Structure 1
C-alpha cells in the first residue's frame, strides 16, 4: 500500500477503532458529556444568561442552534468521530515536513494518548474539539510567522473551534500567539479575543467573575500515573484529577516502559530537529505554548497555595483549577518531537525491511501501549436511549401553564441511572427540558465538598432545607419540580412532594407544580 494513501486513511482508522460501538443508536452519556434530543434554543442559560457559571458558553448555544436541523444523537456521533478524524488529518498536515513514516508516528501519538482517552471518558467534548483544531491553528500561524500570505479562514475557523468553552478558548489563543511570535501576533490576538467574547462577557457578568472555591485546588490537582509520579504523568499527557476515568493500562508496567521509550525518542527528536533550520523554527514556535501548558498543569500539585490564591481572588482564576486541561498545549510539540525522533532513527537503519519494521512499530506502539482507548474506551462508552418517560415529562412541561423555572431533585449534580447502565453522568435534566433548570453545582471529590458558584442554586438548596420548602421554591422563581425517582435520596422527598401538585407521574420520573 502507498504510505501516503495510508496517511490519509489512518485518521479514519483510528476514529473507527475508538468510535465504532458509539455509532449505534442512542446517546453516549458519560460524566460531563450530556447530549439530549433537542437543547432548547430559547433557554437563557444556553446563552450564558442564567445564574450558573457559564462553563458551557458558547458550546451549548452552538449545540442548540445545530439541534434545529440535526437531532442530538446524530450531532454527538458527528462530533466524536470528527474529533479523531480532524485531529489526525491536522497532525498529518502539521508534520508534513517529516518523512511519511515519521509523520504517521507523530500523528498516532497526537491522537492516541492519555489526554485524549481521559478527556473522552470524562466527557469534555468541547475541549476535544479544540484539541482537534490545534494542528490546524499551528499550520496557519506558522505561515503568519513566516510572513507568508494566508487566507483569513485558514486560521480564524480553527481558532473559533477552540473558543467553545473558556478553558479551550485560552488554550487556542495561547497556542496561536506562541506560533505566530510576538512580532506578528497583533491581528491574531485581536481576533482571538473577539471569538472568545461570548464566555468572557458572560463570565464577567456573573457574580463570581470566574472565581472558584480554593478547596477545589487539591481535589483537581494533577495525579501521578504510570508509576512515574506527577511530572511523569504530565510529560506523558496524563494525570487527570478523576482517577476513575484513567485507562486501566496506565497502571501496568508496560505504560512505564512505553513512557521511557517515548521520552528517549523525543530527546533524540529534539537534537535532530534542532540541527535543521525549518524544523528548529517549528520547535521554537511550539515550545512557549508547551511551557505554559506544563506550568499550569503542575501548579496545583507543586505550588497549591499560589493556585488557591489565584483561584479564589483573581477574576477568571477558576479557569486554572483543572490545570491538567492545559496539557493540550504540550501535545503539538510532543508530536513534532516523536516524528523527528522516529525519522532520525529510520535514517540510521540502512536495510529497507528493517526500516519499515521500525516505522511500523513506532506507528502502532501508542495503540499497543494503551489498547483500552479502542472500542469505546474498552466498552465504557456505549450508547443508551432515554426512557420514554423523559419525553412524556418534557411534553407535560411544555404544555403546563405554570410559570417559573425547573429544579431537578434529588438536589445533586451527578446521577448514575440504571438505564445508563449505572454509569455516572451529569444530571441530564439540566439540559433535557425546555425551561431553564436549576441544578446543584456543588461537587464532592474524594469525599471533599467543593462549593459551587451558582448563587441561585445555593438559594434553592437553602429553600429545600427550610421548614417550608414549597414556599421557598416559589420565592426563588421555581414553578416546576422534576424528580428522578430512581436516584439516591428520592425516597427522602416525600414530605416536600405532599405540598406539590402532580403534573406527570411515571415509574422513574415525575413532575410536580409548586403551588402559589
Structure 2
C-alpha cells in the first residue's frame, strides 16, 4: 500500500489552498531584511529592559503588549523571522480558520470563504499601513467564533488564546471581546469578560496609570473618518471593507469601475448565503451579524456623527480607540466571508449535475481574486524587505558602550520618515525602537497638512524646548536626554542639528547618522508602585495564557492518542 492511500485529499486541499493564498501575498517577504511601512516598525533587537515595552513609558500604551511579545520572541529567534511568523502565519490561519467555519459545507464554499478572508481591501490596506496586530487579531477571530459556536461547547483554552491574540493592541482587544460576546454570550458573559480582562490587562492597567493623558485631539475625527474609494462612495467603501482614512495605502484596483462590478457580484452571492443561513444556521448568523453591525456603525460614525465621536475621543479616557473607525470593519470580515462561502455552497448545489457546475466552481474561486489582484506580491510591491544601513548598527553599538547617562532623543523631531534606504516608503521613525535605551520621539501626527496633537507630556515638553531654541543642549539634559541622534539624510536635519554645533559628537561608522552626547543628564525614573502594579499585571496575564497553552497542548495530545476505529489494525485469527 502506498503511503498516500490513507490520506484524505479533500482535507488536504483546504490548507494547501490557504498556503497558496498566503504565498501569493507574501512571496517578497521570503527575502532577507525587515518590512517597514507606516506603523510597522521592526528592528533587529528590541530590548526587553525598556520601560515603554511594559507600559511604563511616558506615553500611552499604544504598542502594549505587541512590543513585549515581539521582544520576547526576538530574544530567542531572529527578529526578521518573528516578523514573518506573525505576518505569514496570521494570513494562513485567517484563511484556514474561516474555511473551518464552513467545514460542513461544500469544499468550494470553504475555499471561497478562505479566499475572501485574506483577499480583501481591509487586509491589503492594514498591511500597507503597518497595523500588524490588527492582522493577528483578524486571524484569531474565526477560531474564536468556531469554538464558541461549537455544538460540543467551547474549548476555553482556545477562547483564551484567541482573545490573547486579539489583545496585542487596545482596539483589537476590545474588538475581540465584542466578537466573543456577540457569538458566544450563551456560554457565559461573565466568564468571557473575565478571560478578556485578564489577557487585556497589560494595556488596560497601563492605560489606567496614564489616565490623565488618555484623551485624543478631537480634531482627528474628521481626518480619520471613512473615505470613498473610486466609485464606491463612502458607504460602499465601508461595506466592501475599504474606506481607510489614508488614501495613499489604497490599492489601485479599488479605483477602477471593474472593482464595483465585481463587488456587486460578490454582494449578490453574499445575499444568497445570508438567506441560506437564515434558514439553517440562525445562531451563527445572529452572532456574526451583531458583530458586523457594530463594526459598520463605528466605521461610519466619524462621518455621520463627527461631533459625538469628537466628544468621546476628547472627553472620555481611552475614547481614542474609535478615532480610526474603519479599523472596526474587522468585525464585518467574518460575516462577509462566511456569507460568501455559504452563498457559493448554495449556488453550487443549484448547479450540480448541470452545465453550470464547472463554471460555478471556477467563478467561486476566481471572482474574489479578481476583485483585488494587486494584493498579490506584497500588495503590489509596496511591502518589500529592507536592510538597515551600517551606521544604524554602529550607532547602537556606541550608544550601548558610552558612559554618558540619560535617554535618547531623535532629530528631526517628527514622527514619520521616508528614508531612501526604505525605498522612500513612509514609516514611523525606527529610531524610536532601534536603540537600547528609552527613546523619546514626537507623537504628533501630520495628516493631510493638519497637525494632530500628541498625548505624551514628555515629548511635548521636549518639543517646546526645541521650538524655543534657547540653550537647547543644557535644557534637554535637564529633561533627562543624554544622547541625541540626528538622522542627517532626511529633510530638516540641517536645521535640527544647529543647536548642537558645539556639542560633543560620538564617532559613528557609516553615513546618515550623527550621535551627540549631552553631559549631566539623568534618565527618567519610574514610580516603584507603578512598576509593582505592572509586574503583577503581566504575571497574571502571562499565567492565564500559559495555562491555556498547556490545556490546548494536552487536548491536542489526547486527540492524537485517540485513533479512529477504522484506522486501527484489524485482528487476524490464524487458522
Q: Which residue of 2 aligns with 1:195?
A: 199
- 2:22 aligned residue: 15
**TM-score normalised over the length of structure 2:** 0.87
Write the deviation string for residues 91-121 of structure 1: whole angstroms up to 9, x where unpaired: 1111213211111111111111000000001
The 5-angstrom pairing of residues 238-249 of structure 1 reads: 238-249=242-253
Deviations 1:463-501 (A, max 9, x none): 112211112211211010011100110011342121321
Give the superposed CA RMSD.
1.4
1:3 deviates by: 4.7
Q: Cα offset for 1:359? A: 1.8
Q: How far apart, CA to CA, are the structure 1 residues paired with 2:107 and 2:92?
A: 18
> Could you say what secondary structure the match of 1:449 adopts?
strand
Q: Is the 8 A contact 2:213 2:455 kept in 1?
A: no
Which runs of 5 or more structure 1 residues have no equivalent in the other structure? none
Aligned ranges for residues 41-190 of structure 1 at < 5 Å? 41-143=48-150, 148-181=152-185, 184-190=188-194
Give the C-alpha shift of residue 350 in structure 1.
Answer: 3.6
Determine if the alignment matches structure 1 residue 475 to structure 2 residue 478. Answer: yes
> What is the CA-CA distance between 1:253 and the residue it aligns to?
0.7
Matched, 1:291 2:293: yes
Aligned to 2:530: none
Equivalent residue number for residue 29 of structure 1 = 36
Q: 1:488 aligns with which of 471, 476, 491?
A: 491
Check the 8 A contact 1:414/1:424 in 2, yes or no: yes
Offset of residue 357 of structure 1: 2.2
The superposition leaves residues 262-298 of structure 1 with CA deviations (integer Å, 9 ceiling, x where unpaired) of 211111211122111xx22110121111111111111
Pairing 1:377-456 to 2, within 5 Å after superposition: 377-456=379-458
Q: 2:254 aligns with which of 250, 253, 257?
A: 250
Distance in 1, Cα, partners of 2:94 & 2:493 = 43
* 1:322 equivalent among 317, 321, 324: 324
Q: CA deviation at 1:226?
A: 3.8
Q: Contact 1:209–1:316 at 8 Å: present in 2 too?
A: no
| Structure 1 position 207, deviation (Å) | 4.6
- State whether structure 2 residue 536 is matched by structure 1 residue 500: no
Distance in 1 of aligned mates of 2:273 and 2:381: 35
Distance in 2 between the 1:178 and 1:209 partners? 31
User: Aligned with 1:25: secondary structure?
Assistant: coil
SS at match of 1:159: helix
- SS state at 2:516 partner: strand
Between 1:178-187 and 1:442-451, the stretch displaced more is: 178-187
* Cα shift at 1:510: 1.2
Q: Secondary structure at the match of 1:37?
A: coil
CA distance in 1, matches of 2:164, 2:157: 10
Deviation string, structure 1 residues 58-110 (Cα, Å, up to 9, x no partner): 00011111111011111111111101111111111112132111111111111
Mapping 1:234-383, distance limit 5 Å: 234-276=238-280, 279-351=281-353, 354-383=356-385
Looking at structure 1, the residues matched to 357 and 215 of structure 2 have their Cα atoms a distance apart, in angstroms, of 53
Structure 2 Cα separation of the partners of residues 89 and 424 of structure 1: 32
Name the CA distance, whole Å, in 2 between partners of 1:7 and 1:340: 16
- What residue in structure 2 maps to residue 462 of structure 1? 464
Under a length normalisation based on structure 1, what TM-score does the superposition of the two structures give? 0.97
Equivalence for 2:555: none
Aligned length: 511
